[in-house]
Amino acid sequence: MILRTVGLTKHFGGLTAVNKVDLSVEEGTIHSIIGPNGAGKTTLFNMLTGEIPVSDGEIYFQGKKITGLKPHQIAKAGIGRSFQQNRLFNNLTVLENVRLAVHAHHKGHFSLLRHFRAFSRPVEKAREILEELGIAGIAAKKAGELPHGQQRILEVALALAADPVLLLLDEPTSGMSPDDSVKMIRLLKELGKRLTILIIEHNMNLVMSISSVITVLHQGEIIASGSPSEIENNEEVNRAYLGEHTRC
């Protein structure tokens, strides 16, 4: 298992957002987390990446305990993450956004005595990421001028800047058109050939088509985990989420 949590819990005052979650993510898989709004999915992600402290329980990554580490330490360990809301520098170009992210995750990334163009490797790395994601052709465009679908792909590029072995994606198709969602599905399938991916997603077409394993959260607790077919045929999951989701 590349990632494992034991009794992971988060309290916000008297509210328990995540309750004793035991999650296991196998290396080389695309593992999806689904559930209704308020199920605790993003709170779980925020604990995994150090954005918020854990109330109880432990997190293990590649066999080492990472509970309590800061976000930059977790990123350095090999976990990359995109967010539900875009976190882009809208006035900078696509290439500059990714270059800055590469700089931030590597030693010696800043020096007041050197011009940024002197750092050739981060620029090369940024171009490699854009090429892999199929957006090298828009490298010179400002991020704020991109359509929403391309901005979401750029968010994935920023997550890849840390050279992760585990990629966490929070609703990567949120707000996307059907055509852009299909492009994202293809992209994630390709990335899944070399990375382990843990994904939060409401797009059930994406979840069912790319997932090796699906875990279902409901009211902060895991109610089921299994293959897409097992989850689709699980009566409790259908009552708690899939049935309502289908009707909507």
Whether 107 and 4 map to the same domain: the answer is no
Domain boundary among 131, 146, 163: 163
Whether 244 and 178 map to the same domain: the answer is yes
Whether 174 and 228 map to the same domain: the answer is yes
Whether 158 and 171 map to the same domain: the answer is no
Q: What's this model's pTM, rounded to 2 decimal places?
A: 0.88
As for how many domains the chain has, the answer is: 2
**Helix 120-132 and helix 148-160: axis angle, to 10°?**
130
Domain boundary among 163, 192, 220: 163
Q: For residue 240, what pLDDT is reported?
A: 79
Tokens representing residue 109 in the block: 């990334």
Q: For residue 118, what pLDDT is reported?
A: 54
Whether 3 and 68 map to the same domain: the answer is yes
Whichever domain contains 215, its CATH number is: 3.40.50.300
Tokens representing residue 119 in the block: 């750092």
Q: Which domain holds residue 134?
A: 86-163
Q: Minimal CA–CA distance to 209: which of 247, 237, 245, 181?
A: 181
Q: Is 92 within 8 Å of 139 (Cβ atoms)?
A: no
Domain boundary among 130, 163, 196: 163
Residue at 65: amino acid letter: K
Q: pLDDT averaged over consecutive 10-residue blocks of the chain (248 residues)?
A: 97 95 97 94 96 97 96 93 82 94 68 54 92 95 94 94 94 90 92 96 90 96 96 89 55
Q: For residue 122, what pLDDT is reported?
A: 86
Tokens representing residue 86 in the block: 């875009």
